[in-house]
Chains A and B, each alone.
Chain A
Amino acid sequence: GAVVSQHPSRVICKSGTSVKIECRSLDFQATTMFWYRQFPKKSLMLMATSNEGSKATYEQGVEKDKFLINHASLTLSTLTVTSAHPEDSSFYICSAPGSGTSGYYEQYFGPGTRLTVT
């Protein structure tokens, strides 16, 4: 099946710094990618939809200036957490839809990035 990678898998940073997380589709092209956030023992919360060649679409309540998304190519989307604070510590997961048949698409998820802000 299709593979999505994320880098880094873990990152620890100090408050006030910025962190960039990469999401790559390795063997397929993705004009759309999705960024999720997951708190411990909780569900995935969709943060934004990343669109190649255009601006990302953010979910209600997600600060676009805080979480910068750039979909630079058909295989790469990046999420930058700017001026990180301890409350930004979380598990960030990206996904990309596969080329399903008849319009029914499954999602391929990256392995996630554990961000810890100290």
Chain B
Amino acid sequence: SQQGEEDPQALSIQEGENATMNCSYKTSINNLQWYRQNSGRGLVHLILIRSNEREKHSGRLRVTLDTSKKSSSLLITASRAADTASYFCATRGRGSTLGRLYFGRGTQLTVWP
């Protein structure tokens, strides 16, 4: 399966702390994307990292990609209570149909005020 797998499944931290979530996948990818989902809502795209990139930043988000280990990490710095949500990584395989993504099970992040 191309499906990504996030680790940990659940993460609970205090406001101001950093949150790190990891994702592993099994096959060659075109790109890897991170999404956020608030309970009972749709997904919001956070950041996309291409297979030839190793690190990318967007605001308080930092994503790394290690294609040799088939893994990625998402770091949220100085977390806020509003960051509480589920975070999913999704991979697009090489040669796959445009936009066809495979999602992991997600990490449930809870940030306590």
Contact = CB atoms under 8 A, between A and B. Distances in A.
B32 to A, nearest CB: 11
Contact of A34 (B41, B99, B104): B99
Interface residues of B, number: 27
Contacts of B102: 46
Interface in B60-113: 88, 90, 92, 97-106, 108
Interface string B23-47: 0000000110101000011111100
Contacts of A109: 35, 42-45
Contact of A32 (B50, B92, B99): B99
**Majority secondary structure of chain A interface residues (helix, strand, loop or mixed):** strand
B103 A43 contact: yes
Interface residues of A, number: 31
Given A44-B88, A109-B42, 20 more contacts: A32-B98, A34-B100, A36-B103, A41-B108, A43-B3, A43-B104, A43-B105, A46-B101, A93-B42, A95-B43, A104-B31, A105-B98, A107-B43, A107-B99, A107-B101, A109-B35, A111-B41, A112-B40, A112-B41, A112-B42
Interface of B: 3, 30-31, 33, 35, 40-45, 48, 50, 88, 90, 92, 97-106, 108
